[in-house]
């Protein structure tokens, strides 16, 4: 049996995605109240794995997940694409015209910037969409609404005041399944690695990217994060569309290492579209 953590309380998108992805497996669930807490639970061996959001098609990368992955030196076992539809949800009896404040987790707020601006709503941040919905319910406040899923509205007895409030109707969040151990699975299609340049010099990133291009390895994702040592000094997370067990990946890593850069593979995995 696997012990799997995700962002709670009941009704988050993380919960919906995790229940669907692990459906039919023998799983014990652990709900935690923030994304950093979920990743920390894996690092402390309190759970075997977790499922966390890493990127959204409207709002972009979720840095608290990326930074937690790096902080705790965790591995990626799988990635999972999940369709997200966001709604403005308020207390029973409240109307759209009553709402002056909107509450949710930052990535969800960032997916709805246009709607929030149009209605000149004040922002309040919560640790999850479900926590925002729960606190709106608990307060009974008619002027504050949450941004969350249709199922969380139903779960907490709230009403949908406006549906589909995200900036674009097509909206997907990519989740990753994270553990402490490297993935032994042979069905690997993508590889995530952290590349830390030996030093800063003009063209350092292009020297790395050229290696993948020369070996015809497509990149599916790239993110730069500060090393924290000095302003302007970065390390790069690069995801390739090639499995870690492919010869061309082995070759790419060896060449990049001969440049003196550090290459750390976070995992090799396949994408599931839920
Ligand atoms: O708050 C939730 O419901 C979550 O599962 C987190 C989260 C996120 O942080 O991206 C997950 C999917 C959606 O993009 C909105 C919120």
pTM of the model: 0.96
Classify 128 as helix, strand or coil.
coil
Distance 133 CA to ligand 1 centre (A): 13
Cα 178 to Cα 19: distance, rounded to the nearest angstrom: 15
pLDDT at 188: 86
For residue range 196-247, what is the model confidence (pLDDT) as tens digits?
999 888 999 999 999 999 999 999 999 999 999 999 899 999 999 999 999 9
Residue of 82, 108, 109 best suited for mutating to test ligand 1, as the one with most atoms within 8 Å of CB: 108
Burial of 69 (0-12, 13-18, 19+ CB in 10 A): buried
pLDDT at 186: 63
**Domains of the chain by start residue, with CATH:** 2-84+171-179 (3.40.190.10), 87-162 (3.40.190.10), 190-273 (3.30.70.260)
Distance 78 CA to ligand 1 centre (A): 18
Distance 193 CA to ligand 1 centre (A): 24
Is this complex scored with an ipTM above 0.95?
yes
**Which positions ≥6 away from 130 have C-beta within 8 Å?**
8, 9, 10, 11, 12, 15, 148, 152, 155
């Amino acid at each position: 049996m696997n012990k799997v953590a995700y962002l709670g309380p009941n009704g988050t998108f993380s919960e919906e995605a995790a229940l669907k992805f692990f459906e039919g497996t023998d799983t014990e669930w652990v709900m935690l109240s923030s994304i950093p807490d979920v990743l920390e639970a894996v690092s402390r061996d309190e759970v075997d794995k977790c499922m966390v959001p890493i990127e959204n098609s409207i709002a972009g990368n979720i840095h608290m997940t990326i930074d937690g992955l790096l902080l705790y030196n965790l591995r990626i076992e799988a990635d999972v694409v999940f369709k997200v539809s966001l709604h403005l949800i308020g207390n029973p009896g409240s109307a759209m015209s009553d709402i002056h404040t909107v509450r949710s987790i930052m990535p969800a707020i960032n997916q709805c910037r246009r709607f929030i601006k149009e209605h000149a709503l004040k922002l309040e941040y919560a640790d999850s969409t479900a926590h925002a919905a729960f606190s709106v319910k608990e307060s009974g406040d008619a002027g504050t609404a949450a941004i969350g899923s249709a199922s969380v509205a139903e779960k907490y007895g709230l009403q949908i005041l406006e549906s589909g409030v995200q900036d674009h109707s097509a909206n997907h969040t990519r989740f990753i399944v994270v553990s402490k151990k490297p993935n032994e699975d042979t069905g690997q299609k993508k590889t995530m690695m952290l590349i830390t340049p030996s030093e800063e010099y003009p063209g350092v990133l292009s020297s790395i990217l050229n290696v993948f291009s020369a070996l015809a390895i497509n990149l599916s994702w790239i993110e730069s994060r500060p090393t924290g040592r000095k302003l302007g000094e970065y390390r790069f997370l690069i995801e390739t569309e090639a499995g870690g067990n492919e010869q061309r990946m082995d070759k790419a890593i060896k060449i990049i290492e001969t440049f003196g850069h550090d290459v750390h593979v976070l995992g090799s995995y396949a994408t599931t579209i839920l």
